[in-house]
Structure 1
Amino acid sequence: MQNDIQAAVGFARAKPEKAAELGALLVSFAELSRAEEGCLGSWISQDADDADLFVFYEMWATKKDLARHLAQPYMKEFLARRMEYLEKDLEVRGLHSADPAPAPAEPADPAEMNQRYLDAYAARDIDAIMSVYAPGASAVWEPGKAVSGAEHREAVAEFLKREPKLSAEVSGSYVVGDTAALVVDWSIEVPGAPEMTGTGRGLDVLRRNAAGEWRYIITNPFGSL
């Protein structure tokens, strides 16, 4: 089966007086990209010896996903105005794998994502936590209120400051095609916040993406939306 994954690496050299502004823009674009359908990853780096040079790397599941990304209003606006920030134009190189196509891997058990989620929380790793979610996923943060995208990330970041201790065990797993539902028994302890400490039974929904990876599309510790 042909691999349609689209990858690219790019270089952006900022005008010295615009470096900080450009860096902030590129980071915000990467965050927006990661919330788009078909985005398998988007990263921004700054050269260790040259603060004016930024390197970006991104992967998209299909050409259609990449084209949709480039048509986003924020991308079209930036590309039209890019020379306001750049000392010279962007250098972008499309990439493809030089390795022989691997044999399709057996799909991972979606229930294994529960442990990955717990490990990320225990490490207080915001990027690892967000990586278990599909683009556009929703998390029920309090009964009747679901958040997604940047709002979700901000809520998690604030919650991690409270040093929560989370445990969870999958008590039921139901898979139909590329969709799975997990019933999860959990407990949480939040130092100094007894109102946030407790136990419960939640319902999480996952979907298998184009790369064959399970990702949460809904996490709901309260069991219903």
Structure 2
Amino acid sequence: MNLPTRAEDAHAALAAAFNTGDVATVMNLYDVTGVIVPEPGKPVSGKENFEEAIKAILSIKGKMEIKTVYCLQTGNIAVGRSEWNITDGDEVKISAKGIEVMREQADGTWKIVVDHAFGAETNLFA
């Protein structure tokens, strides 16, 4: 799977990667020196922790969909706001509003540096 060449395509690329079910494909979209928050109040960083977080999310069987609410870019940094869910048929297994920070790589592709999957929820304080 190719990395996105525009920041605004990072959400679609992430959903497509998750829907492959392959940990390595998903991990490729992240800068693992950053932070991922796979559940509210539990940020993690580092390659091993990222991989565990990705595996946990992939264990929720179903199809991931991510809607980009907005993506703002300045230079090689962008912030996006997303609404995402994982569904299995008509069943919504998880649904949330996230905030992601992306950074352009030297080759012109974009990786996610900060993924706060629940960062835009109205009742989140941390």
Q: Answer whether contact 2:64 2:87 (CA < 8 A) is retained.
A: yes
Shift of 1:166: 1.3
Q: Deviations over 1:171-201 (max 9, x none)?
A: 101001110001111122379xx9x933222
- Whether 2:72 is the aligned partner of 1:167: answer no
Distance in 2 of aligned mates of 1:151 and 1:164: 22
- Whether 2:113 is the aligned partner of 1:214: answer no
Shift of 1:108: 2.5
Q: Answer whether contact 2:6 2:109 (CA < 8 A) is retained.
A: no
RMSD: 2.3
What's the counterpart of residue 115 of structure 1?
12
TM-score by length of 1: 0.47
- The aligned runs of 1:55-204 (5 Å cut-off) are 108-148=5-45, 149-189=47-87, 197-204=93-100
The percentage of counterpart residues that share the same residue type is: 24
Unaligned runs of 5+ in 2: 121-125
Distance in 2 of aligned mates of 1:203 and 1:161: 22
Q: Answer whether contact 1:162 1:190 (CA < 8 A) is retained.
A: no
Name the SS for the 1:113 alignment partner. Answer: helix
Higher RCO, Cα 8 Å, sep 6+:
2
TM-score by length of 2: 0.79
Distance in 2 of aligned mates of 1:185 and 1:161: 20
Distance in 2 of aligned mates of 1:220 and 1:128: 19
Shift of 1:161: 3.0
Name the SS for the 2:43 alignment partner. Answer: strand
Q: After TM superposition, which residue ranges in structure 1, 4 or more long, deviate above 4 angstroms?
A: none
Amino acid aligned to 1:130: M
**Larger relative strand fraction:** 2
